Structure 1
């Protein structure tokens, strides 16, 4: 492995592990603590892309994916109050969403890298985060996909409630997805400052 990407791999692995642990703990009614750590993965990918290019960024993504798979396998063996901490649908949703969204982020960033410094990280993270949220929550909790794991009862996620407590009536999982998406978009904006600072420091070292 190229030494230049080792810090990126370590950072991505740490984020994935932390998010898999923190997703078990609720933050309010619609979120878990993992919602605040996972979006940092896009920051890591974008920094690697800007400083080292598409190839190294993809390697970091694949490393994070492998760590995520390992976390999911461990989670399936840990029994919680209602069964395994990680079900097949959650494992599928997590893996597919992560790999698809992160690789999309890399591709979009590369297309926009010649523009203003903030356009590539902002646009790639916005789009990647949106795809990530849509894929994960629909695969993991949508009633239309119960055939993926018939023995897993996710009827609780289909409970009809006002959107985030104030909007039109929708399935509970949609509110969870929207809350998660809003956090991702907010952190995408906040991440522009550390992105700028980290890239500037790393580019000085590379030069």
Structure 2
């Protein structure tokens, strides 16, 4: 059985995409504890916005947003060639693996540290390695839950909007359905995680203001990455063959089963 899968280009492509999708999502969640200044990254002074009565707002973002835009690019590509069921499958797979990873993080935090290891980072300015380890891997439970719920809901919304637009445009204008679905789903993603993680901690005005700042960045990234989607689409067609690529798109649009597995192999 594995011999046939490894000879089937659409199947091999799906396995590769799934692996990258899950790995990218896990890395994004893991590095999300660091907050960086987008303005300083490009050599500018932090901006000072005022929204909903909140002043001093700037683009202070979690490092996870450096990778999350790629998740929506991959979602749109999978949606285009494999259909909604495939998107749901890789999304649930990613959530299960991320949940498993955080469970292992919390177990690792609870394991008693070796005495020599606690002070082993002194030469690097780290007085207590266990405290630093806890700070890096011990994200708050509400933040974890908020992030996972936001990820799942935004993925499902992205799938729905993508296919609604595709029914109108057909195989044309992948940039329109990809960018349009991402712009809507990213807005939902921004606010779900904030409301779950910080409701009762921040005022609703602060949540709305922070959400807008985050969404501005995500919307800009969605527009910047639009040419990447068009480029990847062409590369996939070259890899599997244009006839098979066309059949994959038709199968993805016409049914939600794994239609790509029934497409004749290209070698």
Q: Residues 37-116 of structure 1: matches in 2 within 5 Å?
A: 37-77=67-107, 78=109, 85-114=138-167, 115=169, 116=173
Cα RMSD (Å) of the superposition?
A: 2.5
Render the CA deviation track for 1:148-191: whole Å, top value 9, x for unaligned. Answer: xxxxxxx4x45x9xxxxxxxxx42x4443322222211111111
Q: CA deviation at 1:25?
A: 1.4
Aligned to 1:204: 238
Aligned to 2:25: 16
Q: Is the 8 A contact 1:5 1:60 kept in 2?
A: no
Q: CA deviation at 1:35?
A: 1.5
Q: Does 1:178 align with 2:208?
A: no
Q: CA deviation at 1:126?
A: 0.8
Flag the 1:71–1:185 CA change in 2: closer, same or farther, 3 A. farther
User: TM-score scaled to structure 1, two decimals?
Assistant: 0.78
Aligned to 2:225: 191
Render the CA deviation track for 1:19-70: whole Å, top value 9, x for unaligned. Answer: 1222121212621221221121100110111122222222222222222222
Flag the 1:139–1:75 CA change in 2: closer, same or farther, 3 A. farther
Structure with the larger RCO, 1 or 2 (CA within 8 Å, 6+ apart): 2
Q: Does 1:36 align with 2:66?
A: yes
Q: Is the 8 A contact 2:30 2:137 kept in 1?
A: no
Between the aligned partners of 2:20 and 2:100, the Cα distance in structure 1 is 16
Between the aligned partners of 1:203 and 1:82, the Cα distance in structure 2 is 45
Q: Is the 8 A contact 2:183 2:219 kept in 1?
A: yes
Between the aligned partners of 1:127 and 1:72, the Cα distance in structure 2 is 28
Gaps of 5+ in 1: 144-154, 161-169
Between the aligned partners of 2:219 and 2:196, the Cα distance in structure 1 is 21
Flag the 1:96–1:17 CA change in 2: closer, same or farther, 3 A. same
Q: Is the 8 A contact 1:11 1:44 kept in 2?
A: no
User: TM-score scaled to structure 2, two decimals?
Assistant: 0.62
Flag the 1:84–1:190 CA change in 2: closer, same or farther, 3 A. closer
Find 2:189's aligned residue among 132, 141, 146: 132
Larger radius of gyration: 2
Q: Is the 8 A contact 2:33 2:136 kept in 1?
A: no
Structure 1 stretches (4+) deviating beyond 3 angstroms?
A: 1-4, 74-84, 173-176
